[in-house]
Amino acid sequence: MKEVPTEPMPVILGIDDLRPLPRATRIARTSREGIQLLEEHRDGFIDELWLDHDLGGDDTIMPVVTLMEEAAFSGRPFQIGAVFVHSANPIGAETVVRSLTRWSYPVQRATAQ
């Protein structure tokens, strides 16, 4: 019997301290975990990246954003199909959208799923 080729599972990453993000294949709950998660996917394609700005206490998504900016600056941006910012903090969310847009990441505001 001939095997039918299967399409690879999409890589959907989420960085959010509280939301379950049911479509995500992996979730990081802190900026440190988020950086590790992105580094693990450094040489692959990320179909979707979901970002929350406020990650509990004094932690925010900004160290992750900085990592993404530095990667783009060095000529090796992360390969991401879509970045969704789903924060309840409108000023923080807009900062993330502006920062990533400046480096040509496909980013938009969204409602968490």
Task: Per-residue pLDDT tens, the chain, 113 aa: give them.
Answer: 666 667 788 999 999 999 999 899 999 999 999 999 999 999 999 999 999 999 999 999 999 999 999 999 999 999 999 999 999 999 999 999 999 999 999 999 987 55
pLDDT at 113: 52
Domain ranges of the chain: 27-109
Its pTM stands at: 0.90
**DSSP for 7-27, written as a single string:** PPPP-EEEE-SS---TT-SEE
Residue that the structure tokens 């505001």 belong to: 109
**Residue 1 contacts residue 31 (beta carbons within 8 Å):** no
